[in-house]
Chains A and B, each alone.
Chain A
């Protein structure tokens, strides 16, 4: 039973505004579960927690989801729609003007691929599309689940640069990864997870 084997246990975590924090750990350490909890995608079964001032135990989780951004390593969009159509859908859903699209596509260097179906993008380009989706949304809290998975060095550098900009502009970013970030620019707080707990910090 799930209650006999809690995915997370004794996690004590406080994120400072406008900061970058990296959760490091092996598969099954509880990184994704923690991110999903903070994103309001799953509920809190015990304990207490607040996300952006909202009580995880009692709040309608939809209120949390409206204020956080989620990027999973598997992609975040409709495969049969083009890059531009995916972003237009997100912009319209949020009531944002679609003329921001050009700026966002330029920022993630996908302008030349705007009419390509999402399923035809490479892993790195799919990740950039996910980032574009988040740039359009401008969430207060960015939750990125293993965004570096299967990225080459160029992709990792691009990601680091963009995350640096996002944090400088005031967003709070929590990233999960298998290994600590190697970026010279970013100096994130690194938390090591194992067995559903945060076991060390550096």
Chain B
């Protein structure tokens, strides 16, 4: 399983490096969304860092939806799905590999967005750095859940519509936990208890994905 996971993750990341979709489409979209969110708050509130964690996760979820669709689109191009299916890859390994690649892409995007948050929304650098471990875990959980839901909706005509509709209720607790822990890191509070929610969600979605991904692919 681990061998296939590493192989699939490496393949997905190589495809992203080649296609530059992350670099030229997703990250600029995220930066623009963060900037516009800051402007929407108005000049007096734009530098108010209490809004920053919420805005950060709002942009992350938009970016994540784009990335999840992209992650599954590369598997469903004409002919590829059938040929790769005949390689007999372990579905658990494929799930883990795609989730890891998606998590790495989200982490890279988060670095840019956090830097943007410090510059545009004036979040405290120290607090932002303190929030990084919880952000890594929360984004890992989003990657796990997103990979699972991406498999559920991929291939259908309405995949781009179904994915947010089905996944947002799942993302909601993660976003709340992530926003709360980021806020706690910035302003003090119970950072750990919110972080635990993300850790548990990460473990649950990885376990579910390992168990169910093969069934979803077959269906």
Contact = CB atoms under 8 A, between A and B. Distances in A.
Interface stretch (B82-90, B126-134, B163-171): B82-90
B79 A72 contact: yes
A51 to B, nearest CB: 12
Interface of A: 36, 39-41, 61-62, 65-66, 68-81, 85, 89-90, 92-94, 117, 130, 133, 137, 139
A25 to B, nearest CB: 20
B88 to A, nearest CB: 4
Interface of B: 4, 7, 11, 14-15, 18-19, 74, 77-80, 82-83, 85-89, 214, 218
Given A62-B88, A81-B14, A93-B87, A75 B7 contact: no
A127 to B, nearest CB: 11
B77 A79 contact: yes
Nearest to A65: B86
A160 to B, nearest CB: 22
A75 B78 CA distance: 7
A77 B83 contact: yes
7 contacts: A72-B82, A74-B78, A75-B78, A77-B83, A79-B77, A117-B18, A130-B79
Contact of A61 (B11, B74, B218): B218
A14 to B, nearest CB: 22
Contact of A71 (B19, B83, B89): B83
Contact of B82 (A36, A80, A81, A90): A36
A133 B86 CA distance: 11
A74 B79 CA distance: 6
Contacts of B14: 81, 85
Contact of A77 (B19, B80, B85, B218): B80
